[in-house]
Chain A
């Protein structure tokens, strides 16, 4: 809570900057509209204005600067406009009992969340299994680890359209599975790295102690290595779930999907409705925040039960 005041200050600064930049960003659109409505604009004509810098336009047409803050299709919407749009497509629709309508962001967020969670589960499973293999087998350590690193330097988005085409040709219905694969691809790496570190965290003396107890491999895995790795696991799960969400949205963006937050961004682009893009972006941010917070709570509970000091 010590950080609350600084955080609010920085957020406030960002908001002020945002509001200030709305005027120059939107002035041209606002002037075009005002001119069409019959107002006198200096200089006349949208083409002539293109050569004039934005601050000049603002200085010469002071009465119309305000109009830039109320456009239907702004180049840069104000934070208030984005907030209103968000509320209109989530809270208001939920209050009217239309939370699952195709126009509601709750519905699209649910579609995205669904794929994200599948990808997260898949990625976490692959990451943990890979980490166990790497810790227990020298061959796996030497052959898998370099490729795991290389896999993350390959931009998965290049593969995204193709994964979707291939899976549709293999007869996989819907876009859920390909999206989940893409998000698992982004999600497995942090989990793998974190778990390798975690499973190797016990000290030699602790491993030796278990050996003097005549513990077998399973016992030393479940009673020592696994518990020791949990703090590492949770930290990397938080990174992993955010990566999984990025993966799902990347999977929705280039592929002509029709539902999901990424699809809302795509559709907003095709229909020229910037407010839809911005509200979908913020919905994605809120979703990411919720997922990470949830994992943080689980982490605190789990580590607390295990007797870790906070």
Chain B
């Protein structure tokens, strides 16, 4: 019971601290902007630990974060092989192929206004569909190893990136295009100097959406058959044998991969679109 009480005390203290910080005169400093959400996250973990320990929740239902961290540390080799199989081989390759294909397709389609008008609604619709459902079909076509996972990822990331790129290529203003014409700029020059840079915020938006989709696709495809490694494989077998702490360790890996992939994308975006109003101070 003491664990629960301690956790509750910590919660109230952290809450008070956050309220004080958010209304203090340092509230717009960078440090406070980082400390407040981090404190919130830590509080969630402490509460979780306190509730599990204090109320004696069975480990089969919800293991405490400390146990998950322990499992994480002791099964690093398993987690690493799964990471390589699912993320590096499946998700990353699929993401690269899908993104390049969608990008090239978008540039090709963009030359025809007619095709663009037809493709945008269809692409938008397809991007909203539960495309993960093609996972069993791809496993059937490309076999159990990473190729089928990459194929699912390609299909999943293709449409969001395609739609965003096409929309981005249309986003330069008529005035700017006219200016390029008065410079006697060719199609390629206009594309590389004006329209692609103008499209970058849209393209990165699509890429950021696609990072999460890529992970989802690679993991779900493993539920339909995989070699005896991979995050999806491990999760489904570990759930079957009720080693829930290992499942949570895999989830922690997935969360770290997802968040850092998103972070890397956002970082590159800031480098590439430094001129965009949302990044200027």
Contact = CB atoms under 8 A, between A and B. Distances in A.
Q: Do A and B bind each other?
A: yes
Interface residues of B, number: 62
B41 A6 contact: no
Given A139-B36, A155-B215, A3 B121 contact: yes
Interface stretch (A57-65, A205-213, A260-268, A301-309): A260-268
A169 B60 contact: yes
Contacts of B220: 157, 250, 253-254
Contacts of A165: 239, 242, 244
Interface string A219-262: 00000000000000000000100110110011001100000011
B13 to A, nearest CB: 14
Given A239-B128, A249-B132, A269-B136, A153 B61 contact: no
A14 B122 CA distance: 11
A37 interface: no
Main secondary structure on B side of the interface with A: helix
A67 interface: no
B189 interface: no
Interface in B217-249: 219-220, 223-224, 231-232, 235-236, 239, 242, 244, 247
Contacts of B236: 161, 254
B261 A153 contact: yes
Contacts of A145: 37
B211 interface: yes
A143 B212 contact: no
A22 interface: no
A274 B140 contact: yes
Given A7-B122, A147-B41, A165-B239, A249 B251 contact: no
A146 interface: yes
Contacts of A11: 118, 122
A277 B136 CA distance: 8
A4 B251 CA distance: 44
B40 interface: yes
A253 B223 contact: yes
Contacts of B137: 274, 277-278
Interface in A137-179: 138-139, 141-147, 149-150, 152-159, 161-162, 165-166, 169-170
Interface string B49-92: 00000000010111000000000000000000000000000000
A139 B118 contact: no
Nearest to B132: A250
Contact of A162 (B22, B27, B141, B247): B247
B46 interface: no
A245 B212 CA distance: 17
Interface in A100-119: none
Contact of A170 (B22, B61, B114): B61
Interface residues on A, range: 35 or more
Contacts of A95: none
B254 A158 contact: yes
B143 interface: no
B21 to A, nearest CB: 8
B128 A242 contact: yes
Given A147-B41, A249-B130, A281-B134, A162 B239 contact: yes
22 contacts: A2-B117, A3-B121, A6-B116, A10-B119, A14-B122, A142-B37, A143-B39, A153-B212, A153-B255, A157-B219, A162-B244, A162-B247, A246-B130, A249-B133, A254-B223, A262-B133, A268-B136, A269-B136, A274-B137, A281-B134, A284-B130, A284-B133
Interface of A: 2-3, 5-11, 14, 75, 138-139, 141-147, 149-150, 152-159, 161-162, 165-166, 169-170, 239, 242-243, 245-246, 249-250, 253-254, 261-262, 265-266, 268-269, 274, 277-278, 280-281, 284-285, 288-289, 292
Ranked 7 nearest A-B pairs via Cβ: A6-B118, A269-B136, A143-B40, A10-B118, A242-B128, A153-B258, A254-B223
Interface of B: 15, 18-19, 22-23, 27, 32-33, 36-37, 39-41, 58, 60-62, 114-119, 121-122, 125, 128-130, 132-137, 139-141, 211-212, 215-216, 219-220, 223-224, 231-232, 235-236, 239, 242, 244, 247, 250-251, 254-255, 258-259, 261-262
Given A153-B261, A288-B125, A288-B128, 9 more contacts: A3-B117, A7-B118, A10-B119, A138-B27, A154-B254, A157-B216, A246-B130, A246-B132, A289-B125
